[in-house]
Amino acid sequence: MNNEILYLFLTPFIAGIFIFLVGRKSRVVGEALALLGTIVTFVIAFKIFIATTHGEVLTLYSSQLRMDALSGLIAGLVALLGLIASFYSVPYMRREVEVGAIQAERMGTYYGWFMIFLSTMLCATTVNNIILLWVIIEGTTLASIILVGFYWNKDAIEAAYKYAILLTVGITFALFGCVLLYSGASAQITGGGDPLKLTEIAKVAGKMPKSIVLLSVVMLLVGFGTKAGMVPFHTWLPDAHAEAPTPISAMLSGVMIKVGIYALIRTVLIFYPFYPIVSTLVLVFGMLTMVVGVIMMMMQDDLKRFLAFCSVTSIGYILMGLGLANYLGIYGAIFHLLNHSLMKALAFFSVGAVIYSTHHRRVSELGGLGKYMPITAVAFYVAAFALGGIPFFNGFVSEFTLFIAGVKAGFPWATVVAVAVAILNVAIFIHLTYQVFMGEAPENLKSAGIKEVPVMMWGGMLILAFLCLLIGVYPQIVSPILNEATKAVFATIAMP
Amino acid sequence: MQEFAKVISTISLSMIITSYLIIELRNLKYSAYVYMIQAMLMCTLFAIFAIDNPGLYYWAATAFITKVVIIPWLLLRYIKKTTDREFQPLIGYLGSIFLISAVVVVLYRVTHTYIGFVAPSQFATAEPFRTNLAVSLSIFFMGLYCILIRRDAIKTVHGLLILENGVHLSLVTLAPALRETALIGIVTDVVIAVWILLYVIYGIYQKFGSTDTLQLRGLRW
């Protein structure tokens, strides 16, 4: 079973290389290789997900590669969304070629980078080596820059530049943080332990000098926080999410920013028992992120930018849970991470379907689409209600968990702020849903002959909608998984 | 290592001066050449430190291949495709030199005096490692200054390279036992990042007609 770790990220990588070699000549070959690669990757990830969430810890190369329940959960999410996004990409990107937004010969490049991007995100969940973690996290950025700027028009290039420069500078801060952690741990580890291993660093977290810890935590928060879309380092996020092709937006928002959160969990949370200021710092950043995100959401007319700022708000919720530092808080953070991946990917796929059919993405240019696109409308309702935190949808359950955790951790003010943000969220999403899918369609849309999107697009949307509803109505179904993932986080934290 | 203390100090000082030049030279091609010189200085430093720690010879070789050969080649190639004149910066020569000097003096003094704050062990607080760390942090913040203040996209890449050289230099003190594989991973990422960034900047040049980042105002709020 341990070898599966290797297959997990090598499969999409090899598929990506093959697409670059042979898939660029034929669009169909590129598509077929991408679909095959994501299917095989999903099967491997699912096996790992089942094993790790049942308590098994997989290791390879003297634990340089290590997967526990948290890694397994995130790898499962990456593979699931990768699978759905690859199927979705086929009709979506073909349409982009038809309308002249993309040249047909560039499709191989799209699928090639898509698979490499998938591979880097999966690899990030497997490494137990602090420097390799940094290398791979930077790899996820490098693999996605071309995808962000794929339309290669003015806006797309601007987004790609901002994305590349901000994340690369941010991650250089994280490199300093990682080096400091490694050097701090090296001085403390005795008896042959490897100071590059995250699990070994965690064991001596309490022995490291406070100054080194604080400096490295600040550097890591800046670096991995930029990756996660944490305010004030989030400015790349709305541009990149809005200008990338929609399947890539779904991947960026659904899973890539979670990889940044994953890196923070592995490197920053290990200091919680020894330096309470670290968790307070994470909590404060979380609350700031949440508030700024929801304020910016209110100012958007572009659907994709709106969803991008909604991701900023959700990252705020996840950071809040992590900052609460109690079991329920971290459980809630992982729960919201899982839910957000599903509901935000669903929201982006639904918006992508709207763009596919109408060629419009501004809220002010849309309306009454429910009549013409019933499946997309249902999918969007589910995503909007889940993101808005309405009861019986998955977003509500994880947000409610975080509210309770805030009170239990002794931070009622955090709960009050989070509830206020949630109320605003509900109002914004109900308003948006009404504007886009209900009421009367504008004349230009009525005469445009709008139709529902192909099954390759709505099939994945319905799977995600089903999962959002299932978890919302019966949250106990994911409780064992979340408990295992939370226990995995605490298992790597040394206690004083 | 004490016998090389003066040489190390001189090379370290030269690294700060070359960072100044990379930032302040208005001709991007000359900045790239000075970057190459800075990279050679860094390789020399690694080689000197390698006398006590032979593992660092690999670092010197890796840095030579990536920073002296590949990255300057990429920079010069894309400068040739675009323009070698830096777009007028936001702050002029005098203001910029004053600002950088203030940052460097303060940072160097603070780091050198309170070295215990960043040094993980007693060993790292002694010379020449003390100077190495102070220089690394100064260079790191000079790179950050360049990224924040300059409006030319290619100059921003130069800033990123200075920033990264700051971190790379600190490894001698903070992580001398770091395995070559990890180091190769880091520098490979840097090379790919520079290549992709320059490719995107070439796109900016094609679409906007210059490498001025202040033009990139299409996406706001």
Contact B185 A149 (CB under 8 A): no
Contact A161 B170 (CB under 8 A): no
Q: How confident is the model at residue B54 (pLDDT cuts 50, 70, 90)?
A: confident
Of residues B158, B157, B115, B163, the one with CA closest to residue B140: B163
Q: How confident is the model at residue B216 (pLDDT cuts 50, 70, 90)?
A: confident
User: Quick check: B138 contacting A, CB < 8 Å?
Assistant: no
Q: What pTM was computed for the model?
A: 0.94
The mean pLDDT value for A6-35 works out to 92
Write down the pLDDT at residue A472: 96
The mean pLDDT value for B45-61 works out to 87
Q: How confident is the model at residue A178 (pLDDT cuts 50, 70, 90)?
A: very high
Reading phi first (left if > 0) and then psi (alpha if -120 to 50, else beta), residue A325 is in: left
In this model, does residue A235 exceed pLDDT 60? yes
Contact B201 A161 (CB under 8 A): yes
Query: Chain B: nearest CA to A164, how far in angstroms?
Result: 7
Residues of chain A with pLDDT > 70: what percent? 100
Nearest CA in chain A to B212: A158
Asked whether residue B221 is assigned to any structural domain, the reply reads: no
User: Quick check: A189 contacting B, CB < 8 Å?
Assistant: no
Asked whether residue B99 is assigned to any structural domain, the reply reads: yes
Write down the pLDDT at residue B220: 63
Q: How confident is the model at residue B221 (pLDDT cuts 50, 70, 90)?
A: low
Mean pLDDT of chain A: 93
Contact B121 A187 (CB under 8 A): yes
User: Quick check: B220 contacting A, CB < 8 Å?
Assistant: no
User: For residue B171, which residues of chain A lie inside 8 Å, CB to CB?
Assistant: 179
Neighbour count for residue A413 (Cβ, 10 Å): 10
User: For residue B116, which residues of chain A lie inside 8 Å, CB to CB?
Assistant: 209, 211
User: How do residues B151-205 score in pLDDT, each as one tens digit?
Assistant: 899 999 999 999 999 998 888 878 877 887 888 888 899 999 999 999 999 999 9
Domain extent for B9: 2-215
Neighbour count for residue A367 (Cβ, 10 Å): 18
List CB contacts of A440: < 8 A, sequence separation 6 or more: A367, A368
Of the ranges A176-185, A398-407, B137-146, the best mean pLDDT one: A398-407
Write down the pLDDT at residue B13: 85
Residues across chain A: 496
The mean pLDDT value for A67-89 works out to 96
Q: What is the DSSP string of A44-85?
A: HHHHHHHHHTTT--EEETTTTEEE-HHHHHHHHHHHHHHHHH
List CB contacts of A228: < 8 A, sequence separation 6 or more: A257, A258, A260, A261, A264, A315, A319
User: For residue A134, which residues of chain B lie inside 8 Å, CB to CB?
Assistant: 186
Of residues A96, A99, A105, A112, the one with CA closest to residue A26: A105
Asked whether residue B13 is assigned to any structural domain, the reply reads: yes
Asked whether residue B92 is assigned to any structural domain, the reply reads: yes
User: Quick check: B110 contacting A, CB < 8 Å?
Assistant: no
For an interface test with B, which of A157, A166, A208, A361 has the most B Cβ atoms less than 10 Å from its Cβ?
A: A157
Cα–Cα distance for residue pair A407/B110, rounded to 1 Å = 42
Q: How confident is the model at residue A496 (pLDDT cuts 50, 70, 90)?
A: low
Domain count, chain B: 1
User: Quick check: A132 contacting B, CB < 8 Å?
Assistant: yes
User: For residue A299, which residues of chain B lie inside 8 Å, CB to CB?
Assistant: 221
Encoded tokens for A151: 């339309």
User: How do residues A110-169 score in pLDDT, each as one tens digit?
Assistant: 999 999 999 999 999 999 999 999 999 999 999 999 999 999 999 999 999 999 999 999
Write down the pLDDT at residue B33: 97
Contact B218 A155 (CB under 8 A): yes
Residue A61 pairs in a beta bridge with none
Q: Tell me, what amino acid is at A424?
A: L
Contact B197 A164 (CB under 8 A): yes
Asked whether residue B220 is assigned to any structural domain, the reply reads: no
User: Quick check: A64 contacting B, CB < 8 Å?
Assistant: no
User: How do residues A253-307 score in pLDDT, each as one tens digit?
Assistant: 999 999 999 999 999 999 999 999 999 999 999 999 999 999 999 988 899 999 9
User: How do residues B30-40 score in pLDDT, each as one tens digit?
Assistant: 999 999 999 99
Block residue for tokens 């603070």: B110
CA angle A294, A283, A79 (to 5 degrees): 70
